[in-house]
Copies of this chain bind each other. A is one copy, B any other.
Amino acid sequence: MRSFFKVKTAKEVLESLRTVQPLGTETVFMTDALNRILASDIVSSEDIPGFQRSTVDGYALDVRDTFGASESLPTPLVIVGEVKMGQMPDLGVKRGECALISTGGMLPQGCDGVVMVEYAQKIEETVVEISRPVSPLENVILADDDVKQGQVILHERTLLRAQDLGVLAGLGIEAVEVFRRPRAAIISTGEEIVDITEKPKPGQVRDINSYTVGGLCTGLGVMPIYLGIAGDSLEDLKVLFEKGLSQADVILLSGGSSVGAKDMTLDLFLSFADVELVAHGVSISPGKPTIIARKGNQTLWGLPGHPVSAMVIFDVFLRYLFAKLSGLANPASYYRHAVEAELDRNIESASGREDYIRVRIVTEDGKLVAKPILGKSGLISTMVEADGIVKIDMNTEGLYRGDNVKVRLF
């Protein structure tokens, strides 16, 4: 067995991934743009809404006519017509006059405010009494109140949310340039691993990691390419791996758990030209037996065979990597949401490594309590039971019952 000769801290690994460049760009229609990442600034080519709009149902008028108006002494105005929705009003409103207007209607010439219908009492077919003063531009949206021409309305490297699609729609933008979604080739190895369609013989287990890792990719908008289970030999593995390298930006080789499988992964990585070893082991538990290498902008991962360990490594490193590849300005948005909870027992931790503890969250006496789940990292059921994970920092000896901890939710 070769010892891990290049064990890195989580911080060092993240630092070495910092130089990963975003992928190329592509153009997608608005209806496919949710959660995609903008590849360029969006500058408004026009004002929105583009005309003065009423925000209420009421009467458009010259606000000066309403000064001094009150319930006891209302101001009568002559109704000269009605603003039709979606049309430029063909009526002019002079002093002493007003026009009926609906929410969203365009203010007629001569008007600089709208009185709500609640404060206007129609006393004749063409006369309305206004019972309160209206301020200039009251109940009015200006032509450039929403968006100004020339304004950068969305910045490049932004993750597009529903409201961002809305403002793009408002500008008449039907398609946007976004970064290409990362592609991740997923390969399983290990002499003990069989496909989920097979009945395992004694000593064999089904391939779990392809599906947990694939699911985590899908959840981030990364396209998983399931390449299946590699044969037992380095040659078989190499064939599948080359297929991955030709199709994907990231190769996720979910190694067998044995030392032999790990050694083969290392040999495999080093057998390719221009491969630089980033880490051979990381000081994280669970997840130590991880091998990471770079080949230009592609990264090669020898993930731990234990499902829990592989998921922790994904959480700590691959979210960050995929955020970088996706062009995201703030990789933190690709991390899981977190809640604060009170730990319900002491947890020991070896210093010199980061520990990740699975916890279940329950509400007790109106507060969130994190209950650690004990169990080996080979047991996927412990992840099914868990609601999230808690990190114990490298230079801490552990956490105490009653500590407030941050739980990253699944």
Contact = CB atoms under 8 A, between A and B. Distances in A.
Interface stretch (A126-134, A200-208, A239-247, A341-349): A200-208
Contact of A85 (B86, B258, B384): B258
Interface in A48-78: 48-51, 53, 55, 57
A218 B165 CA distance: 12
A19 interface: no
A285 to B, nearest CB: 13
A102 B261 CA distance: 10
Given A169-B210, A218-B34, A203 B102 contact: no
Interface stretch (A7-15, A146-154, A271-279, A396-404): A146-154
B337 A191 contact: no
A215 B34 contact: yes
Contacts of A145: 376, 379
A212 B162 contact: yes
A211 B30 contact: yes
B376 A141 contact: yes
A380 B163 contact: yes
A172 interface: yes
Given A191-B85, A199-B172, A258-B105, A55 B378 contact: yes
Interface in A253-279: 256-261
B192 A305 contact: no
Assembly stoichiometry (copies)? 2
A147 B381 contact: yes
Which of A48, A173, A207 gathers most chain B CB within 10 Å? A48
A70 to B, nearest CB: 22
B196 A161 contact: no
Given A35-B219, A104-B205, A378-B53, A260 B384 contact: no
Interface residues on A, range: 35 or more
A170 B208 contact: yes
Given A169-B206, A199-B172, A146 B378 contact: yes
A323 interface: no
A262 to B, nearest CB: 9
Nearest to A139: B376
B168 A211 contact: yes
B50 A202 contact: yes
A307 interface: yes
A170 B193 CA distance: 10
Given A55-B376, A307-B166, A49 B205 contact: yes
A172 B177 CA distance: 41
A386 B164 CA distance: 11
A79 to B, nearest CB: 15
A102 B172 contact: no
A326 interface: no
Contacts of A1: 57, 117
Nearest to A83: B203
Contacts of A316: none
Given A31-B211, A86-B190, 16 more contacts: A34-B218, A35-B219, A50-B202, A104-B190, A105-B258, A106-B202, A146-B379, A146-B380, A162-B212, A162-B214, A163-B307, A165-B215, A166-B212, A168-B211, A169-B208, A171-B206
28 contacts: A34-B215, A35-B219, A55-B376, A57-B258, A85-B190, A85-B203, A86-B191, A86-B194, A86-B201, A102-B257, A105-B192, A106-B203, A145-B376, A153-B381, A153-B384, A154-B384, A160-B215, A162-B212, A162-B311, A163-B307, A163-B383, A163-B384, A165-B212, A165-B215, A171-B206, A172-B196, A173-B196, A337-B409
